[in-house]
Amino acid sequence: MRVGIGYDVHRLVEGRKLILGGVEIKHNKGLLGHSDADVLIHAIMDSILGALGLGDIGKHFPDTDLKYKGISSLLLLKEVYKLLEEKGYRINNIDCVIVAQRPKLADYIDKMKENIADVLNTSKENINIKATTTEKLGFEGREEGISAQAVCTLCNK
């Protein structure tokens, strides 16, 4: 069994869609980034890459490469899944938390889990996503950005 941890944060800005877990969330701001800036998927990718000992998403998908500009993070997750398969592992469990003061995310979590489980060829029950606020403390609480953390465990196939 292997364990990995991932973390990502992006700034909230006007004029961008808010994408979390591959789901478009209704909100007046979106996350700024080279790709779609999906902090949840980015944290999950980093946790998987970490568990595999393969570095981080910046190594695999640099923000200096124009082919990743505006790309769906679900497509990047598919590439990480290929690495997982090549190394002979499968997802045992992924546990995540999204930290955002607003918007409320409860209505979107089930679809996020479906998207992630589909790409990673695992059961939705192996994916857990929580959302929390910071009680208006810090950059998330001031609605300047959103962060996400993920932990995964991998098993041999």
What residue numbers does the annotated binding site cover? 8-10, 34-35, 42, 56-58, 61-65, 132-135, 139, 142
User: Can you read off the two tokens belonging to residue 97?
Assistant: 């938390």
Cα–Cα dist 124/54, whole Å: 25
Q: Which amino acid is at 148?
A: A
Beta bridge partners of 147: 9, 99
121: phi > 0 → left, psi -120 to 50 → alpha, else beta; which?
left
Binding residues for a divalent metal cation: 8, 10, 42
Phi, psi of 80 (to 5 degrees): -65, -40
Cβ–Cβ under 8 Å, residues 149 and 42? no
Nearest to 34 by CA among 51, 1, 52, 57: 57
